[in-house]
Every structure is written in structure tokens, then in C-alpha cells.
Amino acid sequence: MSISTNDLKNGMALDLPEGLMTVTEFQHVKPGKGGAFVRTRLKNYRTGAVLEKTFRADEKVPLAVIDKREMQYLYRDGDQLVFMDTGTYEQVPVPAADLGGAVGYLKESDTVVLPSYQGQVVGVDLPAAVQLAVTETEPGVQGDRVSGARKPATLETGVVVQVPLFVEIGDVVKVDTRTGEYLTRA
């Protein structure tokens, strides 16, 4: 299925030679000389890489229909993560490599949205922030409260984030899933 570049909208998915892309920005440009064109900013679904690409006005591009299903993360099985469709209770194994860095923010029984294209999962839509327990970090030294000072902490999923000195093992912290930054203690 194709779509005209004149009909592009933010959030649309395109199946281009560069890969499966989603439109994050577009602008129609009509210069004084020459034909009109459409300048776009595209984000690769799998890698997250951003690409700027220019198309002729009314050029046909392949539209990709992304199926988004709400799934619950059940458990890890080797290098696969097993999810269950919350509507049909069907269990779906997904290679951890297909989810990239998002694996570090998933814990068992979390519910996420898995976008898939032609039957293959192409990423994961995480909530903006998740709450995870600290399993390993150095103890904060009493009186050492330098403003903004940070130390590394390993969370229950194995991901390491920089946290303030007062955070201790067993604390639950809120982490931004887009940047991997500590937000607050939960």
C-alpha cells in the first residue's frame, strides 16, 4: 500500500529501503523555482536512529501498517522474552535483541505495548517512567551530601543508573525510560 508524500502525518510508519521508519516531522516546501518537495525527519523503528530525507511532492512511498498489541511480560527464556497478549492470552516469544535497551526497564508482570509489522515485533512502547528496586550500590557516607553528587546503582533488571548519594539498597527509584536517568525515589 502506498501513500502520497502530500498526505504524510506525524506518527505514520513507512517501509523505506533504509528500514521501517516513523514520521516525526514533515514540512511541505514550495520554492520560487523548481518543483515542490517534502522535507521529513524519520526515526528508525528498530534502532531509534533519526534520518532526514527529502521527497518530491506527491511522490508515492510505501505505507507500513503497524499492529500495536498490549502484552504482559511473563518471564525470560534464554535470549527470548515471553509476553502474553492480554486479550487472547496467546504467549509470544520475542528475541531480546529485537527490544534493544528497553529490556533493562522491563520486569515480570509489566504491561507494555508491542508494535509489530508483518508478524514481527519491531520494538516496545514503554511507559515514560518505571519504578525499579536498587539491588546494588555503595553506601552513602554520612555527611557526604554534596549537591548533585551521584553514584552508580544496579537495579533489579540489571540496568545501571546514576543516583544521588542518599539512595540505598532496597530503595525503589523512578527512572525515565527514554534517557535512563534517575527521576526520584518512589
Distance CA 60, CA 48 (A): 24
What was the pLDDT predicted at 52? 95
Average pLDDT over residues 77-82: 91
How many CB atoms lie under 10 A from the CB of residue 57?
Answer: 14
For the domain covering 129-185, report its CATH number: 2.40.50.140
Question: What confidence category does residue 180 fall into, taking pLDDT thresholds of 50, 70 and 90?
Answer: confident
Q: pTM, whole model, 2 decimals?
A: 0.72
Region 152-173: what's the mean pLDDT?
90
Residue 145, pLDDT > 70, answer: no
| Domain range 2-64, CATH architecture | Roll (2.30)
Candidate CATH numbers 2.40.70.10, 2.60.40.10, 2.60.40.60, 2.40.50.140; the one for domain 67-121: 2.40.50.140
- Residue ranges covered by each domain of the chain: 2-64, 67-121, 129-185
d(CA 39, CA 19): 18
